[in-house]
Amino acid sequence: MNAPRKPTCAILMAVYRNDDPADLNLALKSIGPDQSHAPGLICIVFDGPVPDTLRDTVAQFDDANGILVETLALPENRGLSFALRLGLRHLRERFDYVIRTDADDISRPTRIADQIAFMEAHPEVALASSQVSIFEGQPDNITGKRHLPSGPEIDRFALSRTPINHSASILRSASVLDIDYPETRLPFEDWWISLRVLHAGGKIDTIDEVHLDFRGGADMISRRRGWRYMRQEITYFRQIHAEGLMSTGRVARNLAQRLVLRMLPAPAMRLLYRLKMHK
């Protein structure tokens, strides 16, 4: 009797010019040789020209580890969503699962094995993500977490916030063959693709274990305030409304809530995130 076929997976990561080589090396190591279940491939999309230090980091990792690395390069910076769109199209017909991670986050050793086991046990799930812890500076300086609901509550959650932890997510390739990341520079690609999955009849769920340490900090939170970010949100909601992904009433409620949040002073914003969103 033939042994059952093992599911295949590839890692999808985007790298751009401001990423830190040391952080990138840690991220690659954590999702590659440190994993209990090695990925079949790590695909890195260079989002525009990057310094030699970043290219050297990838090349040295490729030379030192027995994991296949493929790189794709965009001639100019197009933003994370466009880079991931390119990478997903490159991978989804070749692998059963595509696992997302970022160039500065750290995956825990059983992440790949646990995520694939979850997806194999739940064939109805198209997109899932794990819980994450949040650290600042050194990985052992844990300052919070982003805890997601699971089951039917996810669909309701998706109406007001992104229902996945993006850099801790896994996609079932067969379920997203006709679903892409949007061609946008807006910083909401994770929410957008989640709504597209739900709109197409796919199911999203949460793997209720921490599989990723997410690099956060005051700068990340501060970027999510002010008129510039608010204008980006208005554009985002207009576009997903036009695509039929969210009702007029829900868009209006989301914008009304966010207008107040984005105008908070930076210290108040950081405190709110720490007490309510990343606790």
What are the tens digits of pLDDT across the range 9-47? 999 999 999 999 999 999 999 999 999 999 999 999 999
Q: Which domain holds residue 141?
A: 9-216
User: Tell me, what's the pLDDT at 23?
Assistant: 97
Residues 129 and 148 in one domain: yes
How does residue 275 score in pLDDT terms, banded at 50, 70 and 90? low
- The mean pLDDT value of the chain amounts to 92
Indicate whether 109 pLDDT > 80. yes
Burial of 77: CB neighbours in 10 Å, binned 0-12, 13-18, 19+: middle
pLDDT above 70 coverage of the chain, percent: 90
Q: What percent of the chain has pLDDT over 90?
A: 78
User: Token digits for 44?
Assistant: 């890195």
pLDDT at 90 over 80: yes
Say if residue 203 is in the same domain as residue 182. yes
Residues 199, 226 share a domain: no
The DSSP 8-state label assigned to residue 93 in this structure reads T
Same domain, 237 and 122: no
Residue 222, pLDDT above cutoff 70 = no
C-beta atoms surrounding 70 within 10 Å? 14
Torsion of the alpha carbons at 131, 137, 140 and 143, rounded to the nearest 10: -50
Distance between CA atoms of residues 182 and 85, nearest Å: 7
DSSP 55-66: HHHHHHHHHHSS
Whether residue 268 is predicted with pLDDT greater than 80 in this model: the reply is no
> Is residue 103 included in any domain, yes or no?
yes
Together in a domain, 66 and 93: yes
d(CA 208, CA 213): 14
Alpha helices in 32-172 (DSSP H): 52-64, 80-91, 111-121, 153-157
- Same-domain status, 260 and 200: no
Residues 123, 34 share a domain? yes
- Both 206 and 271 in one domain: the answer is no
Q: Are residues 16 and 64 in the same domain?
A: yes
What is the number of structural domains in the chain? 2
Residue 62 domain flag: yes
> Is pLDDT above 60 for 238?
yes
Say if 2 falls within a structural domain: no
CATH number at residue 145: 3.90.550.10
pLDDT tens-digit series, residues 189-217:
999 999 999 999 999 999 999 999 999 86
Cα dihedral 74→80→82→86 (10° resolution): 70
Q: How confident is the model at residue 223 (pLDDT cuts 50, 70, 90)?
A: low
Closest CA to 106 of 141, 77, 79: 141
CA dihedral 76, 77, 79, 84 (to 10 degrees): 60
Same domain (yes/no): 92, 14: yes
93 domain residue, yes or no: yes
